[in-house]
Amino acid sequence: MPELNAVTLLQDLIKCPSVTPEEGGALQYLEDILTPLGFEVERIVFSEPGEPDVENLYARYGNKGPHLMFAGHTDVVPTGEEASWTHDPFSAEIDNGEIYGRGAVDMKGGIACFIAAFSSYLADNPDFDGSVSLLITGDEEGPAVNGTDKLLKHAAGKGETWDACIVGEPTNPNELGDMIKIGRRGSMSARVTVSGKQGHVAYPHLADNPVRGATALMSALMDPPLDEGTPEFPPTNLEITSVDTGNPALNVIPGTTQFQFNIRFNDTWNEQSLKDELHARLKKASEGTILRQKPDPVAYEIEFINRVSPVFLTKDEKLIQTMSSAVSTAIGRTPDISTTGGTSDARFIKDYCPVIEFGLVGQTMHMIDERAAVSDVEGLTVIYKEFLTQWFN
């Protein structure tokens, strides 16, 4: 079979309208491409009460070690106002050296580049007897309930083990070769409800304004800083993301106030120690605030919402250095080693094998006119092939 072209693969994938959780033809396309290459392909639908069913794909080439996994997702975020796009978001038009389309960089581009790279590697190494697998979900941009987490458990339950993994997320902030990610901060979200007593603003002594208590609690959560950072991670950061009294009237003291926050935390903390710290700060602030007219402690409840994403750090030097060397050999750049950014499906993979992330430039991900430079698609393909050459040899 002739070597596959990454640009053509990417254009074909973009044309599949796989807005999460829809498969959109993307996984069928991958199956049609991978099977002739010699992959055994399995497509699995996972379900969960209250969540949409999601189709996923697992494909493996070879049955011997070492075993390298490439992980990614074909689902994409909604397009937004399509009329605002320079080109139709699912047309995959090439304009001035850039491929336009939803998912071009996040992350159909990474998938296309890896498949093209492996097809080229096979052409040069027909006696290759290691194993390569692709773990592709349709639920990364969604709730991430029926995707990578379950797909890993499914594959591991059938006896699959892996020596290393590359996640093809768009890790580079400005130029291809900028950055390899070797870990991610954890993420925790919560909602705090502060109770007061509703009343007339002209008679505050007959009411208890919960906004005063909420202000004190928010201040206590944000100050002092939770930590100063570590050698591998920036300081833990807590951001208040919403404050709401549900009160449209200007002359009414509200009865309750809610605020929500998200924390991106480093490896100073784990889930339990961070929750303990938050509880301690809230309790102290509730008992010591001087903003309120009433001397009683602030009445509040805290509810942790969504699943906590754990912090992780990959320390596999072979994996990290091989990717760094591949970038340097292929395009002459030395990438930074980083743990910045939000969460990714690497948070699930790290429980099964060492994992790093490296892909295209992410400047336009999730934006109107998401696009990838043709030169970057071609360059990433060369980098992935160089990685395969060095890692397996």
User: Active-site positions?
Assistant: 75, 140
Return the closest-CA partner of residue 366 out of 166, 141, 178, 186: 141
Cross-strand pairs, 372:
99
Which residue carries 């920036």 as its tokens?
A: 234
Q: How many CB atoms lie within 10 A of CB 207?
A: 19
Whether residue 388 contacts residue 116, with contact meaning beta carbons closer than 8 Å, is answered with no
CA distance 8 to 303: 48
ω into 188 cis (within 30 of 0): no
CA distance 201 to 250: 8
Return the closest-CA partner of residue 133 out of 189, 217, 206, 57: 57
Which residue carries 């509703």 as its tokens?
A: 198
CA distance 359 to 113: 9
Identity at 94, one-letter amino acid code? I
ω into 66 cis (within 30 of 0): yes
Under DSSP, the state recorded for 211 is H
Q: Cα–Cα–Cα angle for 335, 339, 343, nearest 5°?
A: 125
CA distance 216 to 257: 12
DSSP string, 287-309: HH--SSSS-SPPEEEEEEEEEEE
Strand arrangement, sheet containing 371-373: 94-95, 98-100, 371-373
